[in-house]
């Protein structure tokens, strides 16, 4: 067990899927989260779909913005439909802020901007899950 890890978080039976084309980003996010939450890496959404079963479903998906660029924001609703109740966080570079915003308008629950920091990643996941004393998540609608 690592220093600074809350045991209650490590055993709460929730899981994160990191879906990103970049192997390094997947590994970094998995490393940052693995001590406090079960974390699985996937190179694309199809890998995530194939790896799920009745007991292995994500509570949170950290989704690389490159998938939204390539496939469009409809991917957000596809993931939400496939994984009922999942919360989606878009992981993006500064140059991808517009696509991250479009993804949030399409239903994503938040975004993480690179460079990634352990504290920021853990806090965002905790907030999205409503755990650790974080304020409850309220999904805001966007006006067009």
The predicted model scores a pTM of: 0.84
pLDDT tens digits for range 83-122:
999 999 999 999 999 999 999 999 999 999 999 999 999 9
Class in CATH terms, 19-129: alpha beta
DSSP string spanning 74-131? HHHHHHHHHSTT-EEEEEE-GGGHHHHHHHHHTT--EEEESSP-HHHHHHHHHHHHT-
β-partners of residue 38 are 15
- Structure tokens that stand for 28 in this block: 């970094």
Kindly state the average pLDDT of the residues 11-33.
92
Confidence of residue 2 (pLDDT cuts 50, 70, 90): very low
Confidence of residue 131 (pLDDT cuts 50, 70, 90): confident
What is the model's pLDDT at position 8? 47
- Structure tokens that stand for 48 in this block: 């995530």
Helices (H), strands (E): how many in the chain?
Answer: 7, 5
pLDDT tens digits for range 54-73:
778 999 999 999 999 999 99
Domain boundaries, given as residue ranges, for the chain: 19-129
């Amino acid at each position: 067990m690592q220093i600074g890890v809350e045991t209650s978080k490590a055993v709460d039976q929730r899981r994160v899927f990191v879906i990103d084309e970049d192997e390094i980003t997947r590994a970094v996010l998995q490393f940052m989260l693995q001590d406090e939450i079960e974390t699985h890496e996937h190179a694309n959404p199809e890998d995530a779909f194939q790896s799920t079963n009745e007991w292995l479903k994500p509570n949170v998906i950290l989704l690389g913005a490159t998938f939204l660029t390539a496939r469009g924001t409809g991917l957000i609703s596809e993931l939400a439909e496939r994984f009922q109740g999942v919360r989606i966080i878009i992981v993006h570079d500064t140059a991808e802020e517009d696509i991250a915003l479009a993804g949030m308008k399409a239903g994503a629950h938040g975004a993480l901007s690179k460079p990634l920091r352990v504290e920021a990643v853990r806090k965002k996941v905790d907030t999205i899950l409503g755990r650790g004393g974080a304020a409850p998540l309220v999904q805001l609608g966007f006006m067009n």
